[in-house]
Chains A and B, each alone.
Chain A
Amino acid sequence: MPQTVVLIGTRKGCFILESNGARRDWKLRGPYCEAWPIYHAVHDRDSGALYAAAASEWHGSGVWRSSDLGETWELSSEGLGYAEVDGTPKLSKVSGLTAAHGRLFAGAESPGIFESRDGGVTWSLYSTLDGQPGREGWNDPANQPPGHLGIPALLPHPDESSRYWAVVQGIGIFETTDDGVSWTPRNRGLRADWPLENPEVGYCVHKLVMSPTDNDRLYQQNHVGMHRSDDGGQSWVEITDGLPTEFGFAAAVHPHDRDTFYVVPLDPGHGRTMPDGKAAVWRTRDAGSSWERLERGLPQSGAHLGVLREGMAIDSLDDPGLYFGTSTGQVFASTDEGDSWTEIASYLPAISSVEVAVL
């Protein structure tokens, strides 16, 4: 029977939940990584290694790595930084990790992407997307949102090792097909509720996911609305109608059905928690034409839960398991495609990320 491993990045270290293929009983381990704030913990399917992007207020940013499923960890930041010259951007945080094609990528603030070709031991700068529209303003302090502008995610094409989509906070999506040498904005059709100097950029993409069964089918949770692309991001259509809010961070796409997709709508104001204190995940089975509210097993009063951009994951089993972690330290799981939910961990530190691996 397969082993199911859920990696949880929190403000106070990395935790691991383990179960078998039935996913009924879970065992919690952690905290790991010396309780450093972990922004994204991932499993590399090719090597079996675990990685956790971390940023300590005292000791800076780095990526922890484990080759024994989290029993022991090592930290490295060798090469993970910009030039040591006053006036150049500082690397204040690494966040989104991507393991693909034998490489490991880390998105960074200030905006940049770093790569490691030796399993996270050493790093080098992959791209800062120079030359893109408005790029010269990305490091302007006047343009920084709370927490700094950064590149939180890099989405790989599963078959084409030189093709990636980068998400730049508040700017949009950029695609490379030549391994980072050149990039093209991929934001056509997106909505912005603010003035744009250049319609190619200026969009706030929170989470970008790809269907494993159709690599041209992308979904994104945006600051303003849900959107779908059927052409690998070259154009987007809005699919927000039917959702309680247009705002959210997390998103997950069904591993076997390109039309099924999950989101966690949140209030868009300062709270950024689930509307009315009632917890729910929303599902579409028709590519966004209609949406269903899924709440069975989730708290329906006084539940002011937030879920961040990397806070939801789905496994690849025949009956895929869906998982999300909250800003108040709960992890909920469903093994019936979201119809019902069970709380599988409680009282953890605030959760930044949830990823799942089937071993």
Chain B
Amino acid sequence: MAELHLPATLLPLFPELPRRLDVDAATVEEAIRRLDERWPGFRDRLCEAGPHIRPHIHVYVDRERAALDTALAAHSRVDVIAAISGG
């Protein structure tokens, strides 16, 4: 099970979505898809056409910058970060 940490900006959009949760997935893309099955629309908030991770969203797997096809190990930590931007 990978351990996902999500940005706070997602929580108001999806009822009962926790900030931290465990997901059984082989890649980042699969983890996002699993969450989209439970919270429809979740994938759209992190991915754009391509598909790619949105430009102002960064994903790190075990502290390394990741893409959608990055593999997840049994106990990977996945951090989804919204850019420190805006004003």
Contacts and interface: CB of A to CB of B under 8 A. Distances in A.
B41 A78 contact: yes
B46 interface: yes
Interface string A56-99: 11111010000000000001111001111110101100000000
Given A58-B56, A60-B54, A83 B9 contact: no
B40 interface: yes
A179 interface: no
B49 A85 contact: yes
A76 B41 contact: yes
Contacts, number: 54
Contacts of A241: none
B17 to A, nearest CB: 13
A326 to B, nearest CB: 19
Interface in B28-53: 40-41, 44-46, 48-51
A75 B44 CA distance: 11
B7 A58 contact: yes
Interface stretch (B18-26, B69-77, B78-86): B78-86
Chain A contact surface mostly:
loop
B85 A57 contact: yes
B49 A60 contact: no
A319 interface: no
A60 B44 CA distance: 7
Given A34-B13, A57-B56, A90 B86 contact: no
A59 B49 contact: no
Contacts of B50: 84-86
Interface in A133-178: none
Contacts of A88: 49
Contact of A81 (B13, B40, B49, B56): B49
Interface residues of A, number: 20
Contact of B49 (A56, A57, A78, A83): A83
B12 A59 contact: no
Contact of A77 (B7, B44, B54): B44
Given A57-B56, A58-B57, A75-B41, A90 B9 contact: no
Q: Top 9 A-B pairs ranked by shortest CB distance? A: A59-B45, A58-B82, A84-B49, A77-B44, A58-B56, A34-B12, A57-B56, A84-B51, A90-B49
Interface of B: 7, 9-10, 12-13, 40-41, 44-46, 48-51, 54, 56-57, 82-83, 85-86
24 contacts: A34-B9, A34-B12, A34-B13, A57-B56, A58-B7, A58-B54, A58-B56, A58-B82, A58-B83, A59-B45, A59-B54, A59-B57, A60-B54, A75-B13, A75-B41, A77-B41, A77-B44, A78-B40, A78-B44, A82-B49, A85-B49, A86-B50, A90-B48, A90-B49
